[in-house]
A and B are shown apart, each in its own frame.
Chain A
Amino acid sequence: MSALSDQVVSIATLVYLLAMISHAVEYALGNVRARAVAAPARELVGAAASPGGAAGGALGGGVAAGGAVATEVPSRAERTARRAEWAGRIAVGLTVLGAALHLAGLVTRGLAADRMPWGNMYEFVLTVSFIGVAAWLVVLVKWPFLRRLGLFLTLVMVLLVATAELVLYTPIVPLVPALNSYWFIVHVSTIVFASGLFLLGVVPAVAYLMRAGYEDGKRSFPYTLARRLPAAAGLERLTFVLHAFSFPIFTFAVIAGAIWAEAAWGRPWGWDPKETWAFISWVVYAGYLHARATPSVKRNVAAWLAILGFLTVLMNLFGVNIFFEGLHSYGGL
């Protein structure tokens, strides 16, 4: 079962890679659909939701479109647009497949270990990234026009899962006694869940910064990538929605950790490196929410804070286990 899990995870990584390539193809072919820069987000939903209208309506501008499609030989632009559309759908299909395999890898790992698959860093990163991709699919169902963000998301997935496999891999062992508690499940599952959402939240935050720069007329390197992204305002909102959702979960997770630490180590809070970095993340994300609620603070600053917040989460996930020695014994590297 353990070997099966390892294989399934390897295949999942490959599938994510293919999804990423497919997204990249969509990006490169780039139909003109995302042209509607200032159009409200929901109108984009309408356009994306009707497949036929997608290509036609999108072409609007210079190219003959609409009813002409049926009678005339499709123009080159149209064909390209259609190919891009297909590449995008294949990418999403592959992402779904990758996520299913990813989940299967986790389940088999859990079955093999006879416990929740959150016992060491390898399993932890694998679970966090799964939550990220699952939440992404939910977002995609709700707001399909965000599909192009999939390029960034699959890139992050490939990087994370591959790192987990190549660097962090650990054979299955049961939990040390300190982890043998139902608070383990409560604390770790919520931390994992919140981290997965933070991971997903950083994608629109980065995309927003690029897109906002593009909309401001910047045409140098990273901004040009944003040419085909959804409008900045929508990305910014999505960033906020994801963070507003995960911040209370993260807060709860930290509190659950404190309750557990009281039972296991006799103190709810002891400034162990993991606790310290959780505190840092919490404060940075509180800063993000404050920055966003303060009209005089630019939205760019808020987005940077969200990214900084995720860097601190990563620091806690990788850095603290590798560099520091603490009571959190699941480092397992």
Chain B
Amino acid sequence: MTAVDDRPTAPADAPRRRPNPLLALLRNSWRQLTSMRTALVLLFLLAVAAIPGSVLPQRGVNPEDVRDFFTAHPDLAPLLDRVGAFEAFSSAWFSAIYLLLFTSLIGCITPRLRDHVRALRARPPAVPKRLERLPQHAVVPAPDGGAAAVAETLRRRRWRVAVRGDEISAEKGYLKETGNLIFHSSMLVVLVAVALGSWYGWHGNRLLVAGEDQVFCNTRQQYAEAKLGPRVDDDLPRFCMQLDEFDARFLETGQPAFYNAKVTVDSDGGPPRPAEFSVNSPLRLDGANVYLLGHGYAPVIRYTDRFGRSQTSAVPFLSTGDVGLSSEGLAAFPDANVDPDTGERDPDLQVAFSGLYLPTAPQEPPFVRSEHPTERNPLLDLVAYRGNLGLDAGIPGSVYQLDQRQVSNGRLTEIGAKQLRTGESWTLDDGTKVEFLGTRPFITLSVRHDPGTTLLLVSSIGLVLGLMGSLFVRRRRIFVRVLPPGSGAPDSGSPTGGSSLVEVAGLPRTEHPGFAAEFAQLVAAIGAGGRPGDAGTDPGTPAGAREGAE
């Protein structure tokens, strides 16, 4: 291979005084760290270190799976947790690898950057003495105009040219190194963008049920689940949002085909305005983006207690995971049966209904699985409970599930079950009544702010463009010497006798299989004095065939 790769060598040692052993060690380690071999090893380690994060469940991706993993492997899970296996990509070991890699990267590109800037400023180097030793070499009749004409030909072809008397040096393909440096620097910028996002970004998830009474305003407390970067104060951008309409279409198989949410947004100062968003087009507000992640039904249940007072709840029921959107939920009425005269609450008369909602119930029992996600034959299967719900006791419980401990210790008793269709009601044993009024749609939202995304996009573009420059551009040099008339070429019995000749040589500085063909073209152009028409030699000429010999 003829390619000559000049990469920055370690700086030549300065005249040695007695080397401080610590300094020497440090310098040696630095040199080791910034070597290509180390970069290679670190890259390999990075790839290997990413594997556990894809095999084990991750908190950032799916916290429920992590919980399940703890249940399934009670001994192993805490051990794994201690080494950060469930947050693999922010764990110490993963961070250590990429930080080392990026340190190596900085150490690697800084000297290259310096060298490259120097090379960009410098003139191409002087013509070597023995041109016939270079990989490409030819002697042709000199064009009219001699060195100046040759230089002009090269310049027109966008070579960087230096003329020294009768000698011309030219170089091309600086973009390769420029691209390489842009590419590697862009990776650093990507890291900065990610860091920005995690420090100054925040996000929260929540459910939003349709209806005026369910308006959601953007505060920390309104999120079921939220994560704020360490540099975010609690003052989130202010806006309120109400779900007016949710439109979903499904195929006969139950597979979703289309989602769209219509909302009214009331952002800081402005009047309320209608807006829409769907799965691939989030609602972009000032300082926050709202993404539609999912949807479901919230059955509207009215309970009328012993005192004849009714309360209505529209609780989102969560999908059990089948395509028919069978969903489960809990409608709790902790304030039921409070005596309106005395205001006295009997803690053992609280009421709750756990339910299974089937948007399209089958024609015949068992009614356990919905056949389609649209509401073709809605059926609500309710189980009623009365007693102490355990909410006051401060026992942490999910709003979507009954606290089973209260059932098992007898404070909450099941008092029956019934299937209701829309509009039907059920009178319980104590004469109180529950009605299924219908459903409202709800959507799952993710509200996010990430100040790093623009920078991320810009650096990614730099990454790709730099990479292309680095991989597709080739650096090469051309040297030309105009020989005085009658001198004869050093390696050939000159066919042109007395007229002057030029000796041309080419040096690909990186692997460049097409160089011979390019060189042949250039030689032809130089020999012809750059006259158009003679410039293009067929790349399949013998010179082209030689290239395989590199």
Instruction: Mark A residues whose CB is within 8 Å of B.
Output: 40-43, 46, 173-174, 176-178, 180-181, 183, 234, 237, 244, 247-248, 251-252, 255, 258-260, 262-273, 276-277, 279-280, 283-284, 286-287, 289-291, 293-297, 312, 320, 324-326
Q: What are 25 A-B contacts defined by CB distance under 8 Å? A: A42-B549, A43-B548, A177-B278, A178-B279, A178-B280, A180-B279, A180-B280, A183-B280, A237-B513, A244-B471, A247-B467, A248-B468, A251-B464, A255-B460, A266-B293, A266-B446, A267-B450, A268-B456, A269-B194, A270-B61, A271-B53, A272-B61, A276-B53, A280-B51, A287-B43
Q: Are B47 and A294 in contact (CB under 8 A)?
A: no
A249–B435 CA distance with the chains assembled, in angstroms = 59
Distance of B487 from chain A, by nearest CB (Å): 33
Residues of A within 8 A of B37 (CB): 294, 296-297
Q: Are B50 and A279 in contact (CB under 8 A)?
A: yes
Taking residues whose C-beta sits less than 8 angstroms from the other chain, chain B's interface range is 35 or more
Pick the 3 closest A-B CB pairs, nearest first: A42-B548, A40-B548, A266-B291
Distance of A308 from chain B, by nearest CB (Å): 9
Q: Are B47 and A266 in contact (CB under 8 A)?
A: no
Interface presence of B289 (CB below 8 A): yes
CB contact under 8 A between A277 and B5, given known A42-B548, A180-B280: no
Binary interface encoding of chain B residues 275-296 relative to chain A, with 1 for a CB under 8 A from any of its CBs, else 0: 0001111100000010101000
A142–B71 CA distance with the chains assembled, in angstroms = 59
Q: Are A270 and B282 in contact (CB under 8 A)?
A: no
Residues of B within 8 A of A244 (CB): 471-472
A287–B472 CA distance with the chains assembled, in angstroms = 18
Segment among B167-175, B254-262, B366-374, B411-419 that sits at the interface with chain A: B254-262
Task: Tell which of B46, B54, B472 has the most Cβ of chain A within 10 Å.
Answer: B54
Q: Are B256 and A176 in contact (CB under 8 A)?
A: yes
Residues of A within 8 A of B61 (CB): 270-272, 326
Distance of A187 from chain B, by nearest CB (Å): 12
Distance of B176 from chain A, by nearest CB (Å): 12
Interface presence of B117 (CB below 8 A): no
Interface presence of B453 (CB below 8 A): yes
Q: Are A263 and B280 in contact (CB under 8 A)?
A: yes
A265–B280 CA distance with the chains assembled, in angstroms = 8
CB contact under 8 A between A46 and B43, given known A251-B467, A266-B289: no
Q: Are B203 and A266 in contact (CB under 8 A)?
A: yes
Residues of A within 8 A of B549 (CB): 40, 42
Q: Are A248 and B471 in contact (CB under 8 A)?
A: yes
A173–B253 CA distance with the chains assembled, in angstroms = 9
Q: Among the listed B60, B65, B281, B453, which residue makes an inter-chain contact with A271, where contact means beta carbons less than 8 Å apart? A: B60
Residues of A within 8 A of B46 (CB): 283
Residues of A within 8 A of B251 (CB): 173-174
